[in-house]
Chain A
Amino acid sequence: MNPRLRRITSLPLTWPLVTLACILLFDFLFTPGFFHLEVKDGHLFGSLVDIVKNAAPVMIIATGMTLVIATGGIDISVGAVVAIAGAIAGVLVARYHAPLLPVLVLPLIVATLCGAFNALLITGFGIQPIIATLILMVMGRGLGQLIIGGRVLWFRMVSFEYLGTGYLLGLPVRIFVAAALLALLTLALRTTPLGLFIQATGGSAKASRYSGLSVGLVKFVVYTFSGLCAGVAGLVLTANIHGSDAALVGMYIELDAILAVVIGGTSMNGGKFNLLGSLVGALIIQSLTTTIFTKGVPVQFTLVVKAAVVVIVILLQSGEFRRQLGALVPGRATR
């Protein structure tokens, strides 16, 4: 193979981008008007904007999840934290008519505490991440329902709803929320050795500990941050429907987020991570869903198509499968 081509194919971001490009190419060829953008009331409208808009909550959660998975862990409680944060915001608005600042800050504090609770179980008691976060996953929606005292709590508050449905500079506000979170995190990773510590922890927790790294602290930061991200996503999703639905909000969002991270090229074994890849992964999932909808595929086929794509991505990421595939192509040397 051409050495330059090989260098490009070995870049971590290449394969997720190729997948995304394939989906968009499909739309370009077969879905008329998919790339059509128009300005209505000073807002940008179109399928592409929809994709980014709907992918934003998963992007936000995937940001935190990437770091968690990079340390070799997993956080399956984020959907439940979304429900808790949404429930608190809903109660503050509907029952206490609180001003905007506490409505934004209090749920985030609680979500961060939820993350800290996971972190405590994992670092303090040495419990496996998947079990430790399972506890909150089982309890969380129940707690959310308890907070709102029922199933759904509707409210109206223009300034809070702006977070979910508003537009800034012609684009949905939540895109800026996701971007701001990513920018802050990137800044933290660039200016501090946190990224290196996370990779070291995921690479080998034992070796990191022996070289003097406080593995517990790194994990604590990562899981707490994941809780915070889930809280932000919870606010966005709750503001979007101007209601708290603790039973259903963010249902299975943890699975979508984990999927986004894995599709984005971060290994579940920990170590190296790829933040941008996770965001591309979230975009892949959403553009797939949007494509299925706009193609008029009967709604019952959505999940089947999604499953098929996930299986293909899993297989493409498997070294064994690539070798088998390589052996099928004549004249191509296998690695």
Chain B
Amino acid sequence: MKLRVSRRYVPLLATLFVFVAIFCLGGLQYRAFFSLRVFTNLFTDNAFLGLCAVGMTFVILSGGIDLSVGAMVAFSSTLIASLTQLAHFLPLPAIALVLVIGLLFGLAQGAVIHFYKAPAFIVTLAGMFLLRGLGFVINLNAIPVEDPLMVKLSTLGIPLGEKASLSFSACVLILAVVTTAVVLGFSKFGRNVYAVGGSELSVLLMGIPLVRTKLAIYALSGFFSAAAGVVFTIYTLSGSATAAMGLELDAIAAVVIGGTLLSGGFGFVAGSLIGALIQGVIQTLISFQGTLDVSWTKIFVGGLLLVFILLQRVFSQGMKKGGAAATGRAPRLAWAGTPAGDPAVGSTAGSGKP
């Protein structure tokens, strides 16, 4: 039993190890790299990606997917910029409005997915088209944000020694990760999320509120991607409907690198955060290096994805062999592999198996 608990954290530790390894690699090559400033900047520069990844973690844990997050970031930033710059809204009501819209939009997507049994992939794809389109309808061009409060937020930070400081965006990200980690790990709702990803049928049979949980999951993803939009606006001080193209992909990659199984039922928010930071540290390393093409970032991230997915596979098969002996399933079957995945991997509430 003790072994099992430690095994749960193996993917998370592997991700952390890769992050530390890349960071140290950078530190060995460039003296300026190994500093608190570079480290805190990672949080600032990738806050929007991290926030999207946090929301995406919930969705993927439940076995779903949300392709609308990048478009939500672009839509939110456009809306905030137009409201504050063109309609002379105060920034705080604009931000609040965006967050509410994000929540409701996610809720609506979840409702279509659940009540009409439509594939999450297609529904959130339509959501992506809709949000990108609405962004264009609001404004076709990039709008600079000059509101004093927003400008202040972009420079605000908790000083941590000389030169380094924890920016407002970084604080939002850390707060989000800590809160969601606690919710996922220790609340009833959190256990329900894992259970939905394990098996929806078992969830129904166990009497867990499936509808409420599923709707909440997609609403959370909408909320966090809207929050990412707010942070993105503060970070870039502009709103553009063409921003954050392909961000949904980076967020999914962050979640997978973070050790969450795409089949649902197993994973941690902290892993997704590190997954986002790994992408950031690779990008920083490449910009430090200077001669390498930017396209290498994607290639490295893709390579990491490959390695992590294969590791996950080996890891989960190791778990299966241990557990499968009892059910008498031949390893040959595991090799031929159904795409259903292994929801049973280490998840406590995941599989309602005896």
A interface residues (Cβ-Cβ under 8 A, vs B): 72-74, 121-123, 125-132, 134-143, 145-146, 149, 205-206, 209, 215-216, 246, 255, 258-259, 262, 268, 299-308, 310-311, 314-315, 317-321
Contact = CB atoms under 8 A, between A and B. Distances in A.
Interface residues of B, number: 51
Interface string B6-48: 0000000000000000000000000000000000000000000
B129 A310 contact: yes
B105 to A, nearest CB: 12
A138 B118 contact: no
B297 A307 contact: no
A123 B116 contact: no
Nearest to A128: B339
Nearest to B263: A128
Contact of A125 (B117, B126, B337): B337
Contacts, number: 154
A320 B293 contact: no
B203 interface: no
Interface string B231-258: 0000000000000000001001100100
Contacts of A308: 130
Interface in B268-325: 293, 295-299, 301-303, 305-306, 309-310, 313
Most buried by B among A125, A131, A268, A301: A131
Contacts of A259: 122, 125
B298 A139 contact: yes
22 contacts: A126-B336, A129-B339, A130-B121, A132-B309, A134-B305, A135-B309, A138-B249, A139-B305, A142-B295, A145-B293, A145-B295, A262-B122, A268-B121, A299-B140, A300-B140, A304-B129, A304-B137, A310-B126, A311-B130, A314-B116, A315-B112, A315-B116
B122 A72 contact: no
A135 B302 contact: yes
- Pairs A-B, 10 closest by C-beta atoms: A126-B337, A139-B302, A303-B133, A142-B298, A307-B130, A304-B133, A300-B136, A318-B116, A307-B129, A145-B295
Nearest to A261: B122
A332 to B, nearest CB: 20
Interface in B306-354: 306, 309-310, 313, 333-339, 341
B69 to A, nearest CB: 14
Contacts of B310: 125, 127
Contact of B262 (A72, A130, A303): A130
Nearest to A322: B116
A215 B298 contact: no
Contact of B256 (A134, A215, A311): A134
A126 B137 contact: no
Contacts of B335: 126
Given A74-B121, A126-B336, A310-B122, A301 B299 contact: no
Interface string B92-126: 00000000000000000000100111110111011
A142 B122 CA distance: 26
Contacts of B121: 74, 130, 258, 268
Contacts of A303: 129-130, 132-133, 136
A259 B118 CA distance: 13
A129 B121 CA distance: 13
A255 B118 CA distance: 16
B297 A126 contact: no
Contacts of B302: 135-136, 138-140, 142
B123 A314 contact: yes
B134 interface: yes
B132 to A, nearest CB: 5
B126 A311 contact: yes
Contacts of B228: none
Contact of A307 (B127, B140, B337): B127
B81 interface: no
A148 to B, nearest CB: 10
A213 B340 CA distance: 18
Contacts of A72: 339
Most buried by A among B296, B305, B309, B339: B339
B262 A318 contact: no
Contacts of A314: 112, 116, 118, 122-123, 126
B195 interface: no
A131 B337 CA distance: 14
Nearest to A205: B338
B65 interface: yes
A254 B301 CA distance: 20
B295 A146 contact: yes
A171 B61 CA distance: 49
A254 to B, nearest CB: 10
Given A128-B263, A303-B136, A310 B125 contact: yes
A101 B300 CA distance: 33
Contacts of B301: 138-139
